[in-house]
Amino acid sequence: MSNYDVVVIGAGNGGLTAACSLAQRGARTLLLERHNVPGGCATSFRRGRFEFEVALHQLSGLGTKEKPGPLFNVLDRLGVVDKLEWIEMDNLYRLVIPGQIDITLKADREACISTLQESFPAEKEQITAFFDLVYKFCLEFFSTFRDPEANAENHPLYFKYALQNTSTVLDEYFTDPVLKLVLSTYWGYVGVPPSRLTFADMAILLFAYIELKPGHLKGGSQALSTAILEEFLAAGGVARFNCGAEKILVEDGRVTGVVTADGETIPADYVVSNASTITVYTEMIDPEHVPAEQFEILGGSTIGPSSLTLYIGLDCEPSAVGIDETTNFIGTGADPDDVFASFREIDTIDNYVLLSCYNVSDPEASPPGTSQIAVVDLKYAEPWLELPPHQYYEQKYAVADKLLEQIEAVFPGFREHIEEIEVATPLTHIRYLAAPGGAIYGFDQFAKDSNMFIPPQSPIKGLYFAGAWAGMGGFQPTLSSGISAARQVIKKLRAQEEV
Ligand X SMILES: Cc1cc2nc3c(=O)[nH]c(=O)nc-3n(C[C@H](O)[C@H](O)[C@H](O)COP(=O)(O)OP(=O)(O)OC[C@H]3O[C@@H](n4cnc5c(N)ncnc54)[C@H](O)[C@@H]3O)c2cc1C
**Cβ proximity of 39 and 52 under 8 Å:** no
Looking only at residues 473 through 492 of this chain, which bind ligand X when binding is defined by CB under 6 A? 473-475, 478
Give the orientation angle of helix 70-78 with respect to helix 13-24, to 10 degrees: 50
Rounded to whole angstroms, how far apart are CA atoms 143 and 172?
A: 25
State the sign of the Cα–Cα–Cα–Cα dihedral 202, 205, 209, 214.
Answer: negative
Binding characters for ligand X, 18-57, by CB under 6 A (x = yes): --------------xxxx----xxx-----------xxxx
Closer of 155 and 429 to ligand X (Cβ): 429
Rounded to whole angstroms, how far apart are CA atoms 87 and 84?
A: 10
Examine residue 13 and tell whether it contacts ligand X (CB under 6 A).
Answer: yes
How many residues form the binding site for ligand X (CB under 6 A)? 38
Beta strand 254-260 with 265-267 is antiparallel
CB of 378 to ligand X, least distance (A): 9
CB of 100 to ligand X, least distance (A): 24
Examine residue 376 and tell whether it contacts ligand X (CB under 6 A).
Answer: yes
Rounded to whole angstroms, how far apart are CA atoms 66 and 117?
A: 31
Rounded to whole angstroms, how far apart are CA atoms 348 and 196?
A: 22
CB of 415 to ligand X, least distance (A): 21
CB of 444 to ligand X, least distance (A): 13
Site for ligand X (CB under 6 A): which residue of 96, 127, 204, 275?
275
Does residue 40 come out as left (phi exceeding 0), alpha (psi in the -120 to 50 range) or beta?
left
**Cβ proximity of 464 and 489 under 8 Å:** yes
Closer of 127 and 227 to ligand X (Cβ): 227
Examine residue 10 and tell whether it contacts ligand X (CB under 6 A).
Answer: yes
Rounded to whole angstroms, how far apart are CA atoms 363 and 78?
A: 28
CB of 457 to ligand X, least distance (A): 17
CB of 266 to ligand X, least distance (A): 12
DSSP conformational letter for 443: B
Residue 229, φ and ψ in degrees, nearest 5: -60, -45
Closer of 123 and 362 to ligand X (Cβ): 362
Closer of 120 and 465 to ligand X (Cβ): 465
Looking only at residues 132 through 191 of this chain, which bind ligand X when binding is defined by CB under 6 A? none
Examine residue 9 and tell whether it contacts ligand X (CB under 6 A).
Answer: yes
Binding characters for ligand X, 417-456, by CB under 6 A (x = yes): ------------x---xxx----xx---------------
End-to-end CA distance of the chain: 18
Examine residue 63 and tell whether it contacts ligand X (CB under 6 A).
Answer: no
Examine residue 274 and tell whether it contacts ligand X (CB under 6 A).
Answer: yes
Examine residue 271 and tell whether it contacts ligand X (CB under 6 A).
Answer: no
Rounded to whole angstroms, how far apart are CA atoms 94 and 96?
A: 6
Rounded to whole angstroms, how far apart are CA atoms 338 and 403?
A: 17
Chain positions contacting ligand X, by CB under 6 A: 9-15, 32-35, 40-42, 54-58, 244-245, 274-275, 307, 309, 376, 429, 433-435, 440-441, 467-468, 473-475, 478
